[in-house]
Structure 1
């Protein structure tokens, strides 16, 4: 036995000796692997323990800092804005609406079940964070290679709504989780669910189920049916998308999802789910959400500029809106807009106060504000600026022009009917919207001058200066056109549209009050009077006859190519109104012209708007300045401060004076001593025969100033080019050929 053992030992040594290497340390490799496993487990456990301690500490301190239940009940999310009309009537309340606080025992069980089923089915089993739901979301994200979907529990949503914002960041999610666990540690499940159902946002400014129930169904949340509870529960995911007043079909589809979840998790039986008839739910009619919202959408953003600081409390905003005029304007647009077309209306008082503003035929269907945001071609309504520039350059309504073929830089405008009237006066050319005359006037005064006039009257959009611009090829806003015509109505003084008069806080403090602005003189009063003359004629006998209302009206129609846009803008009794109609896609509207539907809508509205105001006659008598009233020879001198004399070589010389007149002026008196050292004359000496002085102006200058040879007795109304305002043409005026 010993020998055999010795031999085995020797064999092993021999084998070892043949290899020259020691035996492989296999057990040591295995022990090293498990050593690292044990280390990782120890260190991982230690890190996890520290993390749990840190988490527990964070939750503890968060729970200590969370306000009590009564304080959370009274807290509000956001600011309520009550908007009032010019007479103080409340027209709409925007921002949060909270309804009545319902204790847990008064909330229908079906409402609780619907919310838990669709938002957090493991609500009663987790501690604020759904670990299983989170793990499942991570798994699906890795499996489908996409971003992780939201997994916020009801408690997390409550924590976010009360304490945090909606930023989608990791830091915010971690804080949300800590606060959710703190809420779970401090309050019961019933308390948390009560807080949630009374605070969660359901769209349309409604916070809490009672506010949502009253907004959508006109009754308290205590009376919610299964179908109504399913609709409300479905809103939380996306209030703006699933609101029944915005998209009833989407609301029904989402409510069906809620009912399916309730059936799946045992909140209701299959038979009960099948018996629910969502189509039978009666929705509350939308009030104050239609045309008035066009006005509030335009006016309320201005609060950021009007208020120095954020009041941080509910406020009341007093506006210029007249409820009767707004209702009438809405009806006028709806009843006159052609099928498939939209309409917009802006009405201004003489100081710029917006009395009515309609941005479309239906705000619920489309909230796009065509009165303040849309850019459309004004067509012939743009001729307001062409004729203003011509009147300022010296034209008068009775001056003759020629309606005939004309070509300007290769462009040949045509009239609407394709015919030409020959020699007519300016008044007739404007009343019948003669394109050829507008083109010639624009060419004569300068297209840049017309653009400058439009800028002066409040057009803020880009303006082309090519010849076709005189026919309204540049796009404008409806509110800007109303502003321009209101300035003409005001005698050529600027008008600034405004909609807010004062802002008051909930405590009664006046945060803002509008002060009357000082208007600027845009054109001389005689220019505004001449323009009013033309506008009145356009309504009395021209293209705007459909806008007559039984009292003086001045206005202008506008129609673009292929009947894509129709306009009427005019004024009467201190109220200026602009009406536009057309399609949003700029397609043609058969039969649409400014003198048809828009003019009729204008008349329908204005009859109501001016009914309580006394009739006002227009000031159309042109009180022309002296330089337009005197004969040519006198006009060439004008005001002595506005002219000078030159000799034949072009040198400036002093104007001739009667012989014996001292160029320093008359002697102040006969008593005492002349302060300039002059001696009073003692003997009157007859003056010598007058010597011919240098001509006031050369023949070339007269030719250029008058546009041709003057006939005996001819009276010119051309303005002295030397005194013409800068930026406007000083070219001669005459009959357009």
Structure 2
């Protein structure tokens, strides 16, 4: 047994010596490859991005901010002592790694069963900050140790501490103590008091949680802990600690980030898809209208019910985003409900049902019957619980009668409705069961607004976008948006007839609260138990969608699409289009071969549901011209008017696409 332990000991010594030699070689190699001190001073991590509105107004600057570089001698002693005490008590004595700290952390973590305490020294943090990423794996940790020991050999302790205090991240976008001091206190770090230094020193562990810009009370509580640790370490006396009063610290009022941050976040997320520049600062020009954005924020703030959230998205004729509000308060919640949130649209989804019906040959003045409908074990009911009998399609849409919507969807086919929604740009999953006609499938406000904007554009796609130009700070142009080829989603007669229906909804139906004293078309939407309220409409070249509801999908008393959402729409639109000449809505189109005529048949295209040739001859199901004397088979099943049908008819392709 003694011999066995002797062999184990010898093996351990050999392995230890080999490891030490390997570590020494690695440190020597790293030492040779380290950049000079001046290079490390002027190579901060991070890329700044400046996002501008349509008129050149700077909406936000995203990325790191750096203050004045403070030499070691000009950094207050309280700041240096606080940081060393909190982050690395044995900083002045260890060779880059702290063996005592490693053992202590190992014991603590073993007892707790998880990694509750770290052992990284200031030098290790500096190595990670300058050369490495924050990934948690053993290879990165080994590289960090090697680099830390190399840094200790090449630079003095004072130089390393100077680098660290001028480079470490303190939250709120501030890198370095001077940037943090100016952001949080409004003055240079040269004037830091003990209380202020303790707050800054306490931010390194969790800058996003403890930064005064995020939670001032949490920052003060964390600083109290720092003061206690400084007393324990002997950095300050108990008497000095007793004189500390965190309540006397005054923070600079942080700018309340405007609602445009929902928009700029959306823009920033798209940058990497458009350019691959990751170092040089970028300047991004966008489509946002500053005055319109303020009006949108005011409308949502004024009309959104208490306890609920609101979102608004406005686009121009070509899809240029003019205003975007993703919630009532970006500071409290940066979740973008205009782009990301998926909610049931309720009756707003009837837009697709009626569009499919118009495409299949139904006309606004056709008569239908509001009567009980039974499909399997399901029977839809109207909001008022009654049936009015014969009614025109236009009035059924204006009054948002549920039974008629379901009847029309059943008539054209639920799959056809879903396919048409896809064609309009809805990418979320669509439940193709009968209840889908009443808006049972989740959608986004962005996609719904795009669909309505397409009708406003006479059937031409209006895909939302925001970025028009990207340049570097030096003026190098990286991206310029070029107008896209027009893509016809539905025939102009379909868009015109849908506009006629939506105009009626605003003038005599559920959307009357949205009126703004000029031609307007739109549709309301309300879900079961008043969980969601929608209004989407267009006027004078501007299409705007509004959604309101709670994030937890609980009911909002009194919420309905024709109430608060319609009022918010009207408040915004009145300002957005005010001062521009009113425009008549397009509710009729000239006969162009795609317009339904009284004797055009059920499909309205020269008696052929499959399309026409360039000469106007009807096409058969195989895509070939029909003989002149051929007549349609009345007993043949009606084809689905889906993407393939439209592709054959218009020779177009409609892949779903997204992004600013």
Asked if these proteins are the same fold (TM beyond 0.5), I'd say yes
Cα shift at 1:198: 0.6
Which one of 617, 621, 628 corresponds to residue 641 of structure 1? 617
1:175 aligned onto 2:175: no
1:504 aligned onto 2:471: yes
Q: Alpha carbons of 1:278 and 1:606: their partners in 2 closer, same or farther (altered >3 Å)?
A: farther
Which one of 165, 176, 187 corresponds to residue 219 of structure 1? 187
Match of 1:384 in 2: 351
Match of 2:484 in 1: 517
SS in 2 for 1:235: coil
Q: Alpha carbons of 1:144 and 1:353: their partners in 2 closer, same or farther (altered >3 Å)?
A: closer
Which one of 573, 588, 592 corresponds to residue 555 of structure 2? 588
Instruction: Give the stretch that moved more between structures: 573-582 or 254-263.
Output: 254-263
Which one of 356, 360, 366 corresponds to residue 399 of structure 1? 366
Structure with greater Cα Rg: 1
Match of 1:205 in 2: 173
1:464 aligned onto 2:431: yes
Match of 1:26 in 2: none
Cα shift at 1:62: 3.2
Cα shift at 1:356: 1.4
Q: Alpha carbons of 1:345 and 1:51: their partners in 2 closer, same or farther (altered >3 Å)?
A: same
What are the superposed Cα offsets for residues 647-678 of structure 1, whole Å, 9 maximum, x if unpaired? xxxxx9985xxxxxxxxxxxxxxxxxxxxxxx
Unaligned runs of 5+ in 1: 1-28, 645-651, 656-695, 706-719, 730-737
Q: Alpha carbons of 1:637 and 1:254: their partners in 2 closer, same or farther (altered >3 Å)?
A: closer
When the two chains are superposed, the root-mean-square deviation of aligned CA atoms in Å is: 3.2
Contact 1:530–1:622 under 8 Å retained in 2? no
Distance in 1 between residues matched to 2:605 and 2:229, nearest whole Å: 92
Q: Alpha carbons of 1:158 and 1:421: their partners in 2 closer, same or farther (altered >3 Å)?
A: same
1:629 aligned onto 2:629: no
Cα shift at 1:430: 1.2
Q: Alpha carbons of 1:223 and 1:322: their partners in 2 closer, same or farther (altered >3 Å)?
A: farther
Instruction: Give the stretch that moved more between structures: 507-516 or 613-622.
Output: 613-622
Instruction: Give the stretch that moved more between structures: 175-184 or 76-85.
Output: 175-184
SS in 2 for 1:402: strand
Contact 1:449–1:728 under 8 Å retained in 2? no
Q: Alpha carbons of 1:607 and 1:282: their partners in 2 closer, same or farther (altered >3 Å)?
A: farther
1:189 aligned onto 2:157: yes
Contact 1:98–1:207 under 8 Å retained in 2? yes
Contact 2:414–2:433 under 8 Å retained in 1? yes
SS in 2 for 1:202: coil
SS in 2 for 1:483: helix
Cα shift at 1:573: 1.1
Q: Alpha carbons of 1:292 and 1:272: their partners in 2 closer, same or farther (altered >3 Å)?
A: farther
1:293 aligned onto 2:245: no
Equivalences for residues 115-134 of structure 1 within 5 A? 115-134=83-102
Instruction: Give the stretch that moved more between structures: 421-430 or 283-292.
Output: 283-292
Q: Alpha carbons of 1:281 and 1:432: their partners in 2 closer, same or farther (altered >3 Å)?
A: farther
Distance in 1 between residues matched to 2:600 and 2:142, nearest whole Å: 88
1:439 aligned onto 2:406: yes
Distance in 1 between residues matched to 2:179 and 2:144, nearest whole Å: 26
Equivalences for residues 87-166 of structure 1 within 5 A? 87-142=55-110, 146-147=114-115, 149-166=117-134
Instruction: Give the stretch that moved more between structures: 324-333 or 282-291.
Output: 282-291
Distance in 1 between residues matched to 2:227 and 2:50, nearest whole Å: 36
What are the superposed Cα offsets for residues 261-312 of structure 1, whole Å, 9 maximum, x if unpaired? 12222333334323433344333344373422212222222222212x3443
Contact 1:200–1:236 under 8 Å retained in 2? yes
Greater RCO (Cα-Cα under 8 Å, separation 6 or more) = 2
Cα shift at 1:200: 0.5
Instruction: Give the stretch that moved more between structures: 363-372 or 580-589.
Output: 363-372
Distance in 2 between residues matched to 1:512 and 1:631, nearest whole Å: 51
Q: Alpha carbons of 1:285 and 1:529: their partners in 2 closer, same or farther (altered >3 Å)?
A: farther
Match of 1:80 in 2: 48
Distance in 2 between residues matched to 1:96 and 1:56, nearest whole Å: 36
SS in 2 for 1:93: strand
Equivalences for residues 552-571 of structure 1 within 5 A? 552-571=519-538
Distance in 2 between residues matched to 1:633 and 1:378, nearest whole Å: 33
Instruction: Give the stretch that moved more between structures: 133-142 or 186-195.
Output: 133-142
Match of 1:453 in 2: 420
Cα shift at 1:158: 0.8
SS in 1 for 2:65: coil
Q: TM-score, normalised by structure 1?
A: 0.79
SS in 1 for 2:545: strand
Equivalences for residues 537-616 of structure 1 within 5 A? 537-616=504-583
Instruction: Give the stretch that moved more between structures: 46-55 or 221-230.
Output: 46-55
What are the superposed Cα offsets for residues 382-416 of structure 1, whole Å, 9 maximum, x if unpaired? 11111111111222222222223222333322221
SS in 2 for 1:581: strand
Q: Alpha carbons of 1:727 and 1:386: their partners in 2 closer, same or farther (altered >3 Å)?
A: farther
SS in 1 for 2:500: helix
Distance in 2 between residues matched to 1:258 and 1:632, nearest whole Å: 82
Equivalences for residues 294-309 of structure 1 within 5 A? 294-307=262-275, 309=276
Match of 2:304 in 1: 337
What are the superposed Cα offsets for residues 432-477 of structure 1, whole Å, 9 maximum, x if unpaired? 1111211211121111111111111111111122221111111101
Equivalences for residues 270-281 of structure 1 within 5 A? 270-281=238-249
What are the superposed Cα offsets for residues 502-535 of structure 1, whole Å, 9 maximum, x if unpaired? 1112332111111111121111212111111111
Contact 2:531–2:555 under 8 Å retained in 1? yes
Distance in 1 between residues matched to 2:432 and 2:9, nearest whole Å: 80
Match of 2:654 in 1: none
Contact 1:91–1:288 under 8 Å retained in 2? no
SS in 2 for 1:365: coil
Instruction: Give the stretch that moved more between structures: 574-583 or 241-250.
Output: 241-250
Match of 2:650 in 1: none
Equivalences for residues 291-370 of structure 1 within 5 A? 291-307=259-275, 309-370=276-337
Q: TM-score, normalised by structure 2?
A: 0.88
Q: Alpha carbons of 1:383 and 1:279: their partners in 2 closer, same or farther (altered >3 Å)?
A: farther
Contact 2:183–2:252 under 8 Å retained in 1? yes
Q: Alpha carbons of 1:435 and 1:54: their partners in 2 closer, same or farther (altered >3 Å)?
A: closer
SS in 1 for 2:66: coil
Instruction: Give the stretch that moved more between structures: 311-320 or 559-568.
Output: 311-320
Cα shift at 1:228: 2.4
SS in 1 for 2:140: helix
Unaligned runs of 5+ in 2: 609-615, 621-625, 647-660
Q: Alpha carbons of 1:325 and 1:257: their partners in 2 closer, same or farther (altered >3 Å)?
A: same
Distance in 2 between residues matched to 1:522 and 1:653, nearest whole Å: 29
Q: Alpha carbons of 1:159 and 1:725: their partners in 2 closer, same or farther (altered >3 Å)?
A: closer
Q: Alpha carbons of 1:146 and 1:288: their partners in 2 closer, same or farther (altered >3 Å)?
A: closer
Q: Alpha carbons of 1:385 and 1:276: their partners in 2 closer, same or farther (altered >3 Å)?
A: same
Match of 1:67 in 2: 35
Q: Alpha carbons of 1:261 and 1:531: their partners in 2 closer, same or farther (altered >3 Å)?
A: same
Contact 1:543–1:557 under 8 Å retained in 2? yes
Contact 1:642–1:723 under 8 Å retained in 2? no
SS in 2 for 1:577: strand
Distance in 2 between residues matched to 1:726 and 1:101, nearest whole Å: 61
Cα shift at 1:45: 6.5
